[in-house]
Amino acid sequence: MFQLTNKRIIITGASSGIGKQLCFKLAKYHPALILMARNLDALVQVRDELISANPQLSEPIIMSCDISNEKAVKNAIKQLSKEEKPIDILINNAGTGIYGPIKNTVPQDFKQLLDINFLGAVNFTYHTLPHFPENSPGMIVFVSSIAALYGMPCYAAYSASKAALRSFSQTLRAELGHTKISVLHVAPDYTQTRFFRNEKFLPGARLRHNKMAKAEDVARQIVEQMRRNRPEVALSLRGKLIGKVAALSPGFVRAYFRRRAGKLLKI
């Protein structure tokens, strides 16, 4: 079990959705929270709500930061390092999406998602690693997606960015095997957040109507997996099945997503 009490924790994408709910779920462990997002006003609101709901909590540090900008990330971590305190946990949660068929997904769309969903996490991981404690347990968490497990129709750029994130987490876990830093790649399914309101919607695809988990429930599951010190986990039944069935019966999974693509694409 990984002990979460009194840890210094960075959470990216903390202004809403899963990131915001992670703040509340972790608050009971008396952490020193560092909340990152582009929208500073939204972070102020999250901080105030956290303090109101948890009077015993030390006031979280809030920082506006564009995770896709390596210089901005480097400066943010440099500013934090002035306190000369280690970073115990990094939760790479920030991300965005683009929905539509590949034929309408231009190369710039792929670059945008790789910059945010993949390189954003790489930027934070690279610049925070030197600040993890040498002789006590630490953890790096990648909040990914079931799209990392298998390419989702109408989510080519998103799936590619999350698959890259999963591969990165696996390599990082192997290379940190001699240290006390754990690496968790967690794959939620569709979740009720602003993600779908903010994602770029391309022509040529129908809107999907999927059952969505609550962000609060997803955050609770993530914290539980952190406590269990798991290396990789899909949070939904569908996610668990995709991984297992793809290995045992790849033709079945291919047929499933082919049918799904047929329902979503406007051909």
Active-site positions read: 158
Angle at 237 (CA atoms; ends 188, 143), nearest 5 degrees: 15
- Cβ distance 239 to 232 under 8 Å? no
Angle between helices 250-264 and 237-248 (to 10 degrees): 130
Surface-to-core class of residue 1, CB atoms within 10 Å of its CB (0-12 exposed, 13-18 middle, 19+ buried): exposed
Residue 22: CA count within 13 A, CB half-sphere:
32
Residues forming a β-bridge with 183: 140
Task: Name the β-bridge partners of 118.
Answer: none
Report the alpha-carbon distance of residue 56 to residue 201 in Å, rounded.
Answer: 42
Q: Would you list the DSSP string of 145-187?
A: -GGGTSPPTTBHHHHHHHHHHHHHHHHHHHHTTTSSEEEEEEE
Other CB atoms within 10 Å distance of the CB of residue 138: 24
Residue 262 three-state SS: helix
Determine which helix (DSSP H) or strand (DSSP E) holds 226, and give its type and residue range: helix 215-228
Dig out the tokens for 77 from the structure.
Answer: 């971590």
For residue 4, give both structure tokens: 């979460």
